[in-house]
Structure 1
């Protein structure tokens, strides 16, 4: 038997087809190893999102892909990076945190910054908010209030002594109400019936009152009043006109002739709206026809209350009774005795 025949006899079943399958197995093993290698490389790699978006945007523009998406929210700060932009590595920056502040619609009241305005009391100390911030006790507050009331009584008594003669004659009435001192001037001797012209006999009384008003600070309200008898003529169309005219006449004399600060004066005309007594008798109507000069002290925005002791003798020395000549209106000072 020859060697060729022997080789043919020793070959495995299948011949050359069986030998060809050996390299396929080796190739498959190599491909598996390569795939594992690239998977590992991909897993350990870092992707730059900015460059990825840039490449994606470039491809989108190159292939003509365009998508319009309607946005109903404000952009959150992320967008496709422009082609010309070369992104860098982001680094954290310390910034103040800014948040949007919204208003509570269910809130019924608004918050205001409370501004405290100090008020000086008679002793020169802050007495606002009960004086607690300045360490003033309730006993000290009561003492301050009592001191103010005592000074108000002294002022009223001084005025009453100054106008004692006119009070005895029934021309003047004085009344103290809380922080108000009311000087009530009756029509008798001050104005003619149905007229707003000041009578000469009323001038000395106004001079005494003006001197007192100069010594004591505060707002001055001048109010005219009438009875319920209707007034209708060419000069006055109603009781309001007459009452306001009398108040204006008094205010004009005090400011122009006696130099009382006009910024302190408020003119009021009530007509017959505020009677003191029922208009059922002649005497009551006479008492309702009046001009009231009210000195207001206390928590006034423009004038502080008098916080000094009033010397009655000093006031009486400064009060002068002025005799006016109706033709020349020349004044001559003469001390008045009010004792």
Structure 2
């Protein structure tokens, strides 16, 4: 009888090695699981709990502090948001450089200005290039500039807010009661050109007029007022999806 239960001397050692190999495999799987979680750009706490529950059931482990799951999942979501925004900002900086290069190639330096912005990217054109003083009809000479803007719209497929701005000198004509009407009419004229001539999808467009309320230079000098009279094409960074 005793012979049936005899083990060789290496039996315990072999069993220990097998246990350690299994444990190592389990830890590798867990590490891979959490690395994958960090790579996802979209994730919510409910999905995190479900995924963690699947691992718990498969490996036979228990989570002793459920509150920690919320903290971990929230951290992963916030990290993903920050990484996503950071990646978009890097992309936008690259696009600004590409736009500036294109402007140089077309000989439009001093006509089109591209700058990064908290909302995304702004492409700025001085008002005198597009319009006569106090008017909102596009000048014939504005066509090459707006054609270049249409090309930028095809390069950077963000939603676009076309925004008109004026200096602080009041205006009152038979057509425009104030700078509010003038700035809005100018933004609308630029938007219509991009849609009707440039072939840009109108669903991407919105229009706003801000009169003199958002200056980028002092209104105390002629040069500053000239800079403030402008049309801006704001390429708006897509919002993060709601969690």
Pairwise CA distance, 1:131: 11
Correspondence 1:185 to 2:125: yes
Correspondence 1:281 to 2:221: yes
Aligned residue pair count: 179
Correspondence 1:219 to 2:159: yes
Alpha carbons of 1:145 and 1:227: their partners in 2 closer, same or farther (altered >3 Å)?
closer
Root-mean-square deviation (CA, aligned residues, Å) is 3.0
Match of 1:308 in 2: none
- Alignment of structure 1 residues 40-55 onto 2, 5 Å: none
Alpha carbons of 1:285 and 1:146: their partners in 2 closer, same or farther (altered >3 Å)?
closer
Match of 2:212 in 1: 272
Alpha carbons of 1:145 and 1:187: their partners in 2 closer, same or farther (altered >3 Å)?
closer
Q: Which runs of 5+ in 1 are unaligned?
A: 1-122, 302-339
* Alignment partners' CA distance in 2, 1:280 and 1:130: 54
Correspondence 1:240 to 2:180: yes
Pairwise CA distance, 1:227: 0.8
Alpha carbons of 1:146 and 1:239: their partners in 2 closer, same or farther (altered >3 Å)?
closer
Correspondence 1:263 to 2:238: no
Pairwise CA distance, 1:137: 5.2
Pairwise CA distance, 1:185: 0.6
Secondary structure at 1:189 match in 2: helix
Whose Rg is larger?
Answer: 1
TM-score normalized by the length of structure 2: 0.64
Point out which structure has higher relative CO (alpha carbons under 8 A, 6+ apart): 2
Deviations 1:103-134 (A, max 9, x none): xxxxxxxxxxxxxxxxxxxx994424599837
Structure having the higher helix fraction is 2
Q: Which runs of 5+ in 2 are unaligned?
A: 1-37, 52-72
